[in-house]
A and B are shown apart, each in its own frame.
Chain A
Amino acid sequence: MATPFPPPLTPAKQRARRNRAARIARQLGFVGHVEYRHVYSQTGGAQYGLGSAAEEDLLTVYAEAFERDDDPEDFSLEAIVAHERGHQLLARHPRIAKRVRGRISAGSEEILASLLGAMISVAEADRDALVAKATAELLVHEETPEVATRRLQELWELLEALL
């Protein structure tokens, strides 16, 4: 992301990106619309939007998601989409949504979305990356590594039981 805007991409290649993102999203269980925007965002690569019903939810994938996917030392597109599907599960899964609705901060939601994304990821590397992200975020909140890993494991077991 060396420039403020992504390099030009033909409409056909943009459609191919959209189709790939949609395919991954469906494989991960995402319900709703998937769109690709050939712009740089402030999101890291994708964003989940809550609709009036699950079928109206929106997953928007941005250009940097594909650039990150090309970088072997960054998140894959699958991991980025899995994290957003984690947000959808927090909002839509009957048992999970009931436990968290109105009770968690934005920071906590990001951590839980990463854990859920890790659980549904097919590739071990994606699972590991999302667990690492959740751990790093918890450590920002002045948790010790000992406490952070214990808390995350407790959350993992709770979410796994609910999922």
Chain B
Amino acid sequence: MIGPKKLNTIRQELRHALAASGDDPIRWLEERMTAPKAQSPIAPPGDEVLHSLRRFLEGPERGKRQTQRVRTKK
């Protein structure tokens, strides 16, 4: 079950969690995407999850509306 929580609520929760350290959430992600593994006490993850999160946090105005346009063209 996908549950009742809306995407914009999830976005707010993630922004809040990533900003808890005082950083801008996007900057937080960027730092981890570019950090060399050897310099991090916790090995930074690969690209898929962080790239997805960055796109997601960049805002609701992209993405889903594109999907719907693609769908209506079928």
Contacts and interface: CB of A to CB of B under 8 A. Distances in A.
Contact of A152 (B20, B45, B70): B45
Contacts of B20: 145
Contact-residue size bin, chain B (C-beta under 8 Å from the other chain): 35 or more
B48 A156 contact: yes
Interface of B is mostly: helix
Given A72-B65, A124-B63, A146 B32 contact: yes
B17 A139 contact: yes
Contacts, number: 125
Interface stretch (A30-38, A88-96, A97-105, A125-133): A125-133
Interface string A42-79: 11111100000000000000000000100111111011
A149 interface: yes
Nearest to A140: B13
Contacts of B27: none
Contacts of A112: none
A15 interface: no
- The dominant DSSP class at the A interface is helix
Nearest to A70: B68
A112 to B, nearest CB: 13
B52 interface: yes
B38 interface: no
A10 to B, nearest CB: 21
Given A73-B8, A150-B43, A132 B1 contact: no
Contact of A153 (B48, B57, B62): B48
B5 to A, nearest CB: 8
B67 A125 contact: yes
A84 B43 CA distance: 31
Interface of B: 1-8, 10-11, 13-14, 17-18, 20, 28, 32, 42-46, 48-50, 52-53, 55-57, 60, 62-68, 70
Nearest first, the 5 A-B pairs at minimum CB distance are A125-B63, A153-B45, A131-B52, A44-B2, A43-B1
